[in-house]
A = this chain, B = another copy of it.
């Protein structure tokens, strides 16, 4: 069966999947958690095969760390599933009930999107998290994970799929694509696949966005900023900047550019520069800073670069408006933070910066579905259409309008025989 044939079959089954009551979807999640727990040895064994192969291929240590499915990660994954089960069901929620006229009632009700294709990096916990979120939200899903976790994904998917179907979910609820060619096939499935969620490098996500007619949700780059305003607390500033740069340097929500109010530079920089040195962070800055602190001069390209490394660019700005303009021009509308004790300045910044996340006095690293209390996330969206920021269950839902009448026709309203009275009743 080709991916297109499979997607067509899923599309036909997707209303059945959408119709599953919360009880069945939660039962499937519980069965999955149980299957993972009971078969952990087989999972770890498969993961060892992936790790051995990765070591043969001289995969860097940082990537090996992501590939490794440790008992701790499995425990976290199972805890994640249990958190999802505990979350309230959002699938058949009435967003409003409106009487348009006597006997004519409009209900706006949430429903799953349908068939979702998720392409994700080589991280075994990602497969568990994504499959669980799709089940909780009543969506069918085609999953394509990174090839470096081939063996681990194969057994994880098999356990998840069997538990899901045994719990009563439709046969076409989930499908695993295993070959790299299948990504191109998947991108051609418009009409059958309702949404593609790609995760991975900037170039990879951009490629997906440019090569499909299916709507794509996600983010290519993540150039996040921290702006230090004139009225700031230096200890908070240094601690937040260091956390945002070093807590997970390769993450999309790590800070890449620091903007500093001209009146703040001389107070902030001596202490911050010491911290940069202590953490081996390379500073590239505007001329005024580079002259005083003996670092490279940042150019236009620096400000447009997602380093994903222990490098940070910095620039002195004359006021908050210059900071906002810089962020709206060079940023990727992901997550940007102001450090200030001035409430009005914070509100102004958070209003004017056109990003999914706008923060005051905290690390950009908080941009994450788990940390937002969503239970889990399928990804982070920098788009403005549909879900924005970390995407949990809500971002995997759409809605439909149900209209209940009793023989109502439009002609009566067009001719003035009847009139709408629009009364929200729920």
Contacts and interface: CB of A to CB of B under 8 A. Distances in A.
Interface residues of A, number: 79
A405 interface: yes
A398 B385 contact: yes
A354 B114 contact: yes
Interface in A92-107: 98, 100, 104, 106
Contacts of A1: none
Contact of A371 (B100, B113, B352): B100
Contact of A365 (B324, B353, B410): B410
Given A195-B384, A384-B398, A403-B357, A409 B113 contact: no
Contact of A235 (B194, B404, B407): B407
Contacts of A114: 354, 384
Contacts of A390: 401
Interface in A376-426: 383-386, 388-390, 398-411, 413-414, 420, 422
A71 B371 CA distance: 56
A213 B356 CA distance: 20
A240 B409 contact: yes
A355 to B, nearest CB: 7
A346 B365 CA distance: 48
Most chain B CB within a 10 A radius of its CB, from A367, A371, A385:
A385
Most buried by B among A244, A357, A363: A363
19 contacts: A16-B352, A100-B372, A104-B366, A106-B372, A195-B384, A217-B385, A240-B409, A355-B400, A357-B401, A359-B402, A359-B404, A360-B403, A360-B405, A361-B405, A363-B409, A371-B420, A385-B398, A386-B386, A389-B401
